[in-house]
């Protein structure tokens, strides 16, 4: 049996390059940038598909202008470990799209008759459950059907988005390989 003596040149340099590639923060930032670029057509399709009211209305003590939900639609970076970009109504900072899920999925309507309003003023409170189960006389439970604008936008752009994401992520991986080899 012969002894084989192998000298690897540049091993320390290779090890240092691999450690540079393992920087999770940089990879996550770059992948999120790619995902934002890829999601932009879907966001534009969602903004075109969202319904716009013809008049303003008030909720939670605020006046909501027509087109508010369209303005609040945007790209949201998820805080999960995997790089993820979401498309939907934003409700933070200057955006006021907190009601986007009600437009998208629909919501129930509760109306009470005059007798129940008097009862509420006199201190006898009824629960929401009693309204829903129609135990309260004169309650009417209605339903406003939703307009799934995000689903419509996804269906319009899913084939192009998937192909675009594959191309851009392949280019990203190739850049990382080239960086490693140089």
| Per-residue pLDDT tens over the stretch 97-108 | 888 998 999 987
Residue 162 lies in a domain: yes
Best CA proximity match to 103, nearest among 93, 92, 113, 89: 89
How sure is the predictor about 118, in pLDDT bands with cuts at 50, 70 and 90?
Answer: very low
Strand 140-145 and strand 62-64: pairing? unpaired
Residue 115 lies in a domain: yes
pTM of the model: 0.70
Q: Which residue has the higher pLDDT, 123 or 24?
A: 24
- Residue 140 structural domain: 108-146
Do 84 and 157 share a domain, yes or no?
Answer: yes
Q: Which residue has the higher pLDDT, 65 or 136?
A: 65
CB under 8 Å to 144, separation ≥6 — which residues?
102, 106, 107, 108, 109
Is 49 in contact with 151 (CB distance < 8 Å)?
Answer: no
pLDDT exceeds 60 at position 120: no
Best CA proximity match to 47, nearest among 78, 68, 63: 68
Measure the CA–CA gap between 172 and 156, rounded to whole angstroms: 26
């Amino acid at each position: 049996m012969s002894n084989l003596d192998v000298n690897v040149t540049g091993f320390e340099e290779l090890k240092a390059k691999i450690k540079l590639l393992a920087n999770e923060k940089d990879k996550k930032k770059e992948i999120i940038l790619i995902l934002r670029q890829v999601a932009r057509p879907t966001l534009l399709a969602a903004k075109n598909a969202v319904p716009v009211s013809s008049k303003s209305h008030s909720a939670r003590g605020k006046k909501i202008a027509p087109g508010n939900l369209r303005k609040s639609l945007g790209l949201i970076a998820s805080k999960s470990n995997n790089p993820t970009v979401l498309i939907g109504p934003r409700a933070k900072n200057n955006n006021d799209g907190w009601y986007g899920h009600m437009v998208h999925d629909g919501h129930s309507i509760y109306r009470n008759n005059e007798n129940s309003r008097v009862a509420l003023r006199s201190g006898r409170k009824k629960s929401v459950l009693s309204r829903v189960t129609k135990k309260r006389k004169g309650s009417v439970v209605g339903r406003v059907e939703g307009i799934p604008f995000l689903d419509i936008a996804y269906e319009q752009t899913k084939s192009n988005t998937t192909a675009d994401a594959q191309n851009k992520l392949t280019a990203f991986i190739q850049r990382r390989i080239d960086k490693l080899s140089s």
